[in-house]
Amino acid sequence: MAVLNVTDDSYYAASRCIDIDAAVERTHRMRQEGAAIIDVGGESTHPLKLTPTPEATEMARVIPVIRRLANELDCPVSVDTIKPSVATAALWTGATLINDVSGFRDAEMRALAAAADCRVCVMHMPWAPYASHQAAKYPHGVVEAVIRFLSQQIDLLLAAGVREDNIIIDPGIGGGQFGKTIAHNLEILQNLHRIKGLGYPVLLGVSRKTFIREILDCSIEESLTGTLALNCLAADQGIDILRVHDVKEHMDVIRMVAALHHHEVDTPMPV
């Protein structure tokens, strides 16, 4: 899954792409490099971001781009949003997956996903969006908290009418709103088999995140090697979707892991 940030404040400045033509051009390049899904986001989850992006602003950013991509691409387009109104417009425009980092807490978002019969990615976030930027407390351990939350949200999605085979899960790696310390993130990465044990396709998003830079004492521009190391291990453990900024480099990693396991790169999961 390739990240397309149509924002002016995403944490990785090189990924920002506000101009529609430039965004479409970048997407075509990422598709040629091997991206199987394009994830379009109009609201940053920058660790220091304290207020939500206005609905009209987010809509104006993502909808024209999704419209173009749906008409020009031969792969699925995902919308990265926590707002039902934005998700509705995106689905009407051609998106086929809702990537909701708030974990589908909003009943309206669950009902929308069920009615649209679209794919959904439910991510662990320990609280409602913008409620806190501090690391959360996990009395029973972060992995147990992630599993409990994802199980609870899966039950709510199923009760709303979302089909089981439309659900993807994400353990929510990251600090800031995602509420995890370096130790929390590493513990999750050491226990991906437990997340996979829930029985749903797993999406992992570690690309160039702060904890990598803190461990390696490097800039965001220098964080690709740390990202590749973690995603190599994730691919080796059978993680289904890697959400990344750098497609070509990750396709090389995936091909090498596939070679070690003596099989071809899997056909992308239909969305």
Give tens-digit pLDDT for 7-65. Answer: 875 555 556 677 899 999 999 999 999 999 999 999 977 655 568 889 999 999 999 99
Reply yes or no on whether 83 is catalytic.
Answer: no
pLDDT at 9: 59
Beta strand pairing call for 97-100 and 119-123:
parallel
In a domain, 270, yes or no: no
pLDDT at 256: 94
Owning domain of residue 34? 2-260
pLDDT at 269: 46
In a domain, 266, yes or no: no
Domain total of the chain: 1
In a domain, 196, yes or no: yes
Both tokens of residue 98? 């809702």
Rounded to whole angstroms, the Cα distance separating 70 from 67 reads 5
pLDDT at 14: 59
Phi, psi torsion values for 233, nearest 5 degrees:
-65, -40
pLDDT at 270: 42
CATH number, domain containing residue 6 = 3.20.20.20
pLDDT per residue rounded down to tens, the chain (271 residues): 999 999 875 555 556 677 899 999 999 999 999 999 999 999 977 655 568 889 999 999 999 999 999 999 999 999 999 999 999 999 999 999 999 999 999 999 999 999 999 999 999 998 877 766 677 889 999 999 999 999 999 999 999 999 999 999 999 999 888 999 999 999 999 999 999 999 999 999 999 999 999 999 999 999 999 999 999 999 999 999 999 999 999 999 999 999 998 766 554 444 4
Catalytic residue (choose from 209, 213, 248, 255): 209
pLDDT at 264: 62
How do residues 151-162 score in pLDDT, each as one tens digit?
999 999 999 999
**DSSP conformation letters of 48-110:** T--SPPPHHHHHHHHHHHHHHHHHH-SS-EEEE-S-HHHHHHHHHHT--EEEETT-S-SHHHH
Catalytic residue (choose from 105, 194, 243, 248): 243
In a domain, 45, yes or no: yes
pLDDT at 135: 78
Reply yes or no on whether 209 is catalytic.
Answer: yes
Helix (H) or strand (E) holding 98: strand 97-100
* The residue count for the chain: 271
In a domain, 109, yes or no: yes
In a domain, 268, yes or no: no
Cβ atoms of residues 34 and 251 within 8 Å? yes
In a domain, 96, yes or no: yes
Percent of the chain whose predicted confidence (pLDDT) is above 90: 80
In a domain, 202, yes or no: yes
pTM over 0.85: yes
Residues 6+ apart with CB under 8 A from 42: 6, 7, 53, 57, 58, 59, 60, 61, 62, 80, 81, 86
Phi, psi torsion values for 263, nearest 5 degrees:
-145, 165
**Torsion angle defined by CA atoms of residues 223, 226, 227 and 233, in that order, rounded to the nearest 10 degrees:** 180
Phi, psi torsion values for 241, nearest 5 degrees:
-135, 125
Both tokens of residue 38? 């394009």
| DSSP state for residue 243 in the 8-state scheme | -
Query: What residues does 27 pair with on adjacent strands?
Result: none
